Structure 1
């Protein structure tokens, strides 16, 4: 485990009481409604707020009240990306990046400016001032400045919350690249489930200052007892490997648990690991494989269980696909007509255009 923590925070009308052990790699998302304690917990990890508790990162203890130990923020090997970019207005983009880089003694610099500039496509922006940048561009520069401090842990506090939809779509691929290329463990705060699904590997669900669930992203998205499966955006994230990057007609063929899946995505190389989000509403079920249909994807699955949907006319069906879980939303009438039941072998039909 990368981070071990226990914090107690008491304020008027709010109490945070958490104990967590977080993974040493990938993206851990702190998810919950506004006021659930996400940002407070992140600020405790950063040392920006001091409250009763304990915190260690890998083999370093950053806070231990019993030993009266508290390591100040500037001595913690972390980077912090705030909701607002907060760039220095008098410095060009190059100067803002250099500020982060120069804070680190040369022997401790394991990330170089050229690497970050290429990763975040900042080359065309280097001579501009912050007021000449879009919101998404400013946040990319802020991210680059944080990375150039060579952090061993990166904290991100709702970095997309202040951006419009177009700017979010602009910056999300860069966050994915950061996750995949630099291998820095990230703790990411968000109340937007679409962001979490796209970026996170591990999920911590916070409610009124308490951890109500935590675990791998897919397990929580498809858990019967959690709310995600009973929302309009109910979905799962499958781990896949690229088989044919150019399978024809602008499609890519990937392998999921030994079965082929065609997705509408290009610019990926053979053998690359990627995640594919599949909405429950895009999964149809059949008792036999279909050939004369527009569905490109037909996966062999086993029915785990059936539960009520959002409304009485719907059912949610959880399906076993190798070691992963797929979710389908069907009508109650279809569930009855197909005589759906646990243990049944089925075929999950998915439109290729629904997968990107």
Structure 2
């Protein structure tokens, strides 16, 4: 249960330390929490289903936050599951476009001061902030999604990573099998190693089906804004469709909504990412989404929290791949029912090690 607003000398010292950072904290004041505060998700989110857990699991979202119909929503699903099934307390805050590492570290420290026992940074943008906050708070368990670099490493840090290239191979194969023009496209939110994994896997899968296929590639921005700009996603997709592509796969978070709008307007096909977007996207565009590469961030987040509830603490890199269900593809809508046997054959070859999927 959350304790009352009484502080030990150590906590007072921590509060004083963060007060010194007030100037930076003001830049994210709208996200600020107090030790007795509620959750950004609405309602009373400070107690679990049975109120019996001492674990308080807290998520610091990437740009777009809960409601992005993609990456962040998948993480939120795992947090909600932990609240409902494990009885943990929860808290959540969201990133802002254009912020720096100091602002992200301040956000994590706000969660520390809110009595969080487990803190998850959703996205590689938290790498340096997680690294610093975890060193300052060795008694708190941290996790980061999509980063296994030295920046975020620590004895009290679980690095939750995925084989996105393997899942992307399968939807790349699907794109090539469904394409009538022999031209497909990939749109990434940002040109970084993580998104390069989606790109590389997609291209490998498409070329496994058709070595001569034409693949267009576009990255939307040099910062996190590329994951929260549907207008940019739409413009990029329209350009590809105009050049003959009839299937586009995006790994661009909230910007993917624009890709779907462009597919709808041009009567073309699109492939979603992270969650089953034929279910989570706006209803008027769901029919253009032939499949999605699902990255089960919810599974990783839930497993990380459950480990602490069970008295264990995850630490170090924890990879979730095709073999263990960390990534997969969806069949909602029945639009790829005619090719699932071929996709499942590719899937088994990857699992068996007969196909090695490139990561860059």
| TM-score normalised according to structure 1 size | 0.26
Q: Relative CO higher for 1 or 2, CA cutoff 8 Å, sep ≥ 6?
A: 2
Q: Which has the higher helix share?
A: 2
Which has the larger Rg? Answer: 1
